[in-house]
Structure 1
Amino acid sequence: MTTYVGFDLTRVRGLAKDLRKVAGASSTLHSDVKKVLDDAASHLNGKPVTNSDQLAAVQLGSIGLFGGITFAPPGNLAGPLDDMAGSIDRRANHLEKCKELQDNCKGTVDPSLVFVDEPPPDPEKVNEALEALRDMQDKDTGMNGNRDDLQSVADKLKGLTSAELDMFLNAAKPEELESLRKQMETTGSAGFLWMGDNGLPVGERIEFASALLAKASPENQEKLLAAFPWLQPGFESTDVYLDKFNDQTGKATNGMHYGLPSDPLFTNKPLGEDVYQGQLGDCWYIASLTATAQRDPDFIREGIKENPNGTISVRVWDADGNQRWVTMNRELPLDENGDPVGAHGDGSTWAAYYEKAFAIAYEGDEGGAPDGKEGNDAYDRSEQGTYGATEWDYTDQAPPYVTGQDSEGIGTNYDDVKEAYDSGHPVIVASNSDKDGVPDNWSQEQKDAYVTRHVYFVKEFTPDGKIVLGNPWGPDSPTVTVTQDEFEDMFDDAQSLQIKGK
């Protein structure tokens, strides 16, 4: 009897069987074709046997290595065809089990998930996850705290496949998920120091919600973000939202809202030349990101990925030094014209998602405000988990989140800065809070390029030993080139970034 679930699975599995058969015969076919070509060559006295590049590759590029592996078709098709057959079988099994899951759990699996290449869904795992969620509703913290219970629930939910998670989220009530969120957020000791803790640390909470968002169907992503809003950082407390312009650049930021950017994740431009800070006051973070992208672009590129469900995951390290993958939807803060307010590239968005992940994960915010607004509670306050937390901080705060290791403070000693840069380390440095040290003989253009209370990155050294400092505002902004004495007079708090594993 034919099993029909939108596909004729008997015929689909028949295709997989045929692919395996062809894969098994490809090596024999390759050898037979090569023998014919070799026989022909022996009678042609050095003349070309064929003008086909494909056939020539069979004859010339098929020297058996490592047990007879060939590097041209048809011989090299054996592995890919066999892999394709395996993928078809797994997807067919998954699709069939999705139908059983729907029958057993009395719900529907999002169509985008039914043919994915992952283990077949198990209705029992969905029921166990729902039971664990609901058991938490009636538990108080107790003398031993609830952290172990919360970690157990989190592990069950993170262990669900995409289809299982979809069924779980369809069945879970919003108030049940909200209750779980509140329990996770309520941290602290349950009693005496030797007793257990309550809630989950920030890094664990983010990792938990990220793992779910990376697998959730488009329909359930909004439900997850409503239940666990940690993954959509607010911007209402940022200086540029409150003032509606950036007082350093003078650019307006009216009508800030979340929206979908039109640019792709990457372009072909070098990463270190494709970062613009935008209007948020997070030069201290963007300088770290740009400097790292300049010195080790592969490290940055490996730290961001697009998930099959359309979400984006970015690698960060939390306040305790644990690597986390922070997952977010594709929405970014835009202005009234639909242009990005925060970090961006020249036609790319990767820097914006790094910035968003940092806003979600950064735990070190203790306040900070633009000139003249220190002490103003609207500006100068702790804003954990928001874009506001990324504004106005010190040069040593961002590097661990970007590179996975604390940076090395090297002051403004010229020799130390040059040694760090020559050794391949990204280097960032802060400018002074005023322009008192700017040389009188500088041109007005040079003076304008020097921005106070700003963080730069070392871009290069000139042949005569001057330091060229890049501005995180972007490659279109003028660099600042200084002598050793000027550098030591006009800058402070240089950091040598230490990239994990390098």
Structure 2
Amino acid sequence: MPFAGFDIPKIRSLGTSLKTLGDNAGKLHSDVSAVLTQAQSLMGGKPATTSRDLEPLVGNPFSFWPFGFNNLPGSLNGELGDMSDSMARRCSQLEKCNELLAKGYAIDPALAFADEKAPDEKKINDALDALAALDGKDFGDDGNRDDLDEVKDKLNGLTAAELDAFLAKAKPEDLRRYGDLARKTDDSGMWWWESHDGIPDSAFRDHLSGLLKKAGPSHWAKLEAAFPGIQPGFDTTDVWLDKQNSQRGQTVQGVQYGTPTDPLFAKPGQVDASSISQGQFADCWYIASLTATAQADPQFIAEGLKQNANGTVDVRIWDKDGNKHWVTVTPDLPMDSNGHLISAHGNAETWPAYYEKAFALMYGGDEGGAPDGRDGDKRYDHADFGNYGATEWDMTDKAPPYVTGENSKSIDNNVDSIKKSFDAHHPVIVASNSDSSNLPSDWQKNGAYVTRHVYYVKGFNANGDVILGNPWGGGSPDVVATREQYEKFFNTPQELQVKK
């Protein structure tokens, strides 16, 4: 059914009138300047206006583009012109969407009013044909990359409305075939110049992000079914296998995806390291790196997140080869049966969870790892990729490059070296030992020390003791360690290098 209730000819006429008014804004600007200048002269030099916007016009009729205007009414030229152009584009978009709807295409109502180029039916059908043409092609030693690149490029070139119409008509089996072939990157044929299969991981990751950023929520499940790399699983994590967090002993029931009610940021565009809580996944080494970086350079972390119009979130992250990506993730997050987040989170904000979700998709260095007593148990101790299980039980130097874009630097295992790095405004993380015997009494009482755990350096007290923050957050006590205590119970400090 076409979108009704909008008189497009009248809207176009209004846009034209706004354009005309904008074109005349320069003359109006000069006229107002002349009136104010004359008035000030007749008033014996007293100010003719108290408006900060109009003050620069006195004696200056040319204080607008191209001479650098910031004031009304000259600025109306650009503002009204932009508004007119936007109205014209939206009218064209709505007209074309109505045409496609009449032909049986499905388009999300929100996209029919988007400010983008009007949808092109031919582009939609060309993409559908290229997708269907993958069926039955010979993808042996001759490779399939050219055919897949053709589909990828056609999909990347679709507008949001075009992609919505495409996904509504695309057969699930055709999308799955495309996803399966794209992930088959075996270039081991007889001749290297002939055997180019699949789409390289880096390019396909960016492709999936581009699709997810534009797709309407009604199509996310269809994309996830065809391309598992869009949504990280959690069925290989400790909390899924044991129904509890092995270090904290907290029971976790009914792990599932759900949509949080908290916003991305508690304060728009701002992050607070003290707000971060690790949650129930065993990825302290990553959350400690994220927290340390947020403490040292909150703007850097805040700039790594963007919320899209369709509800998805873009996360800046670097891959294992040091290439920067903006990974798009859906807004749903792992929760327990009571609707509480089990992933990383903040205090009434969700931004840490989306960093963690993107990391789960991108981390490429997992070689296994398991909680105490589970080493060698293949249910826990095995390599993962593209899921939350991959993020559990790894070393302090593995996570920083994904957060900062640079490898971390190993520093001497003593408080003086750590303080030198910290005072130079570098994020610093350290690991605890696996032995908890002979702990200081205050650590035993408050439970601050956790074995096989990664902490971040919060600072130093007046005595020169190092203060180590627990990425568990949520009121978890800090470890305050003397030089001797630090060297006895901690190891492998890393200085993180934040890319500028």
Do they fold alike, i.e. is TM over 0.5? yes
Aligned CA RMSD, in angstroms, stands at 2.7
Instruction: State the distance in 1 between where 2:15 and 2:276 align.
Output: 46
Gaps of 5+ in 2: none
Q: Which residue type is aligned with residue 209 of structure 1?
A: L
Deviation at 1:193, TM superposition (A): 6.3
Residue 125 of structure 2 corresponds to 127
Structure 1 counterpart SS, 2:337: coil
Structure 1 counterpart SS, 2:147: helix
Question: Which deviates more, 92-101 or 60-69?
Answer: 60-69
Cα 1:262–1:447 shift into 2, 3 Å: closer
Deviation at 1:178, TM superposition (A): 1.1
C-alpha contact (below 8 Å) 2:182/2:198 kept by paired residues: yes
C-alpha contact (below 8 Å) 1:410/1:495 kept by paired residues: yes
Instruction: State the distance in 1 between where 2:457 and 2:474 align.
Output: 13
Deviation at 1:446, TM superposition (A): 7.0
Structure 2 counterpart SS, 1:12: helix
C-alpha contact (below 8 Å) 2:34/2:59 kept by paired residues: no
Deviation at 1:226, TM superposition (A): 1.6
Cα 1:55–1:201 shift into 2, 3 Å: closer
Residue 293 of structure 2 corresponds to 292
C-alpha contact (below 8 Å) 1:437/1:490 kept by paired residues: no
Residue 171 of structure 2 corresponds to 173
Cα 1:184–1:270 shift into 2, 3 Å: closer
Q: Percent identity, aligned pairs only? A: 50
C-alpha contact (below 8 Å) 1:203/1:361 kept by paired residues: no
Deviation at 1:474, TM superposition (A): 1.6
The answer on 1:329 being equivalent to 2:330 is yes
The answer on 1:338 being equivalent to 2:336 is no
Cα 1:86–1:434 shift into 2, 3 Å: same
Deviation at 1:199, TM superposition (A): 2.2
Deviation at 1:32, TM superposition (A): 3.0
C-alpha contact (below 8 Å) 1:362/1:385 kept by paired residues: yes
Structure 1 counterpart SS, 2:410: strand
Cα 1:61–1:317 shift into 2, 3 Å: farther
1:53-132 to 2 correspondences below 5 Å: 64=63, 67-102=66-101, 106-132=104-130
Question: Which deviates more, 255-264 or 316-325?
Answer: 316-325
Structure 1, residues 387-444: CA drift from partner, whole Å, max 9, x if none? Answer: 1111111111111211222222225244443333233322211111112474x4x524
Structure 1 counterpart SS, 2:164: helix
Structure 1, residues 365-400: CA drift from partner, whole Å, max 9, x if none? Answer: 222111112222222222322211111111111112
C-alpha contact (below 8 Å) 1:265/1:348 kept by paired residues: yes
Deviation at 1:89, TM superposition (A): 1.5
Cα 1:444–1:366 shift into 2, 3 Å: closer
Deviation at 1:281, TM superposition (A): 0.8
Structure 1, residues 118-163: CA drift from partner, whole Å, max 9, x if none? Answer: 2222222222212221221122322232233323321221121111
The answer on 1:145 being equivalent to 2:143 is yes
Deviation at 1:480, TM superposition (A): 1.8
Residue 19 of structure 2 corresponds to 20
Instruction: State the distance in 1 between where 2:3 and 2:390 align.
Output: 53
Structure 1, residues 140-199: CA drift from partner, whole Å, max 9, x if none? Answer: 322232233323321221121111111211221111111111112223224136242322
Instruction: State the distance in 2 between where 1:147 and 1:397 align.
Output: 32
Cα 1:377–1:107 shift into 2, 3 Å: same
Instruction: State the distance in 2 between where 1:56 and 1:446 align.
Output: 67
Cα 1:64–1:215 shift into 2, 3 Å: same
Aligned positions, number: 496
Residue 410 of structure 2 corresponds to 409
Residue 477 of structure 1 corresponds to 476
C-alpha contact (below 8 Å) 1:334/1:340 kept by paired residues: yes
Q: Which residue type is aligned with residue 15 of structure 2?
A: A
Structure 1 counterpart SS, 2:361: helix
Cα 1:31–1:478 shift into 2, 3 Å: farther
Question: Which deviates more, 415-424 or 467-476?
Answer: 415-424
Gaps of 5+ in 1: none
Q: Which residue type is aligned with residue 386 of structure 1?
A: N
C-alpha contact (below 8 Å) 1:184/1:205 kept by paired residues: yes
Cα 1:115–1:144 shift into 2, 3 Å: same
Instruction: State the distance in 1 between where 2:28 and 2:254 align.
Output: 65
Residue 394 of structure 2 corresponds to 393
Q: Which residue type is aligned with residue 364 of structure 2?
A: E
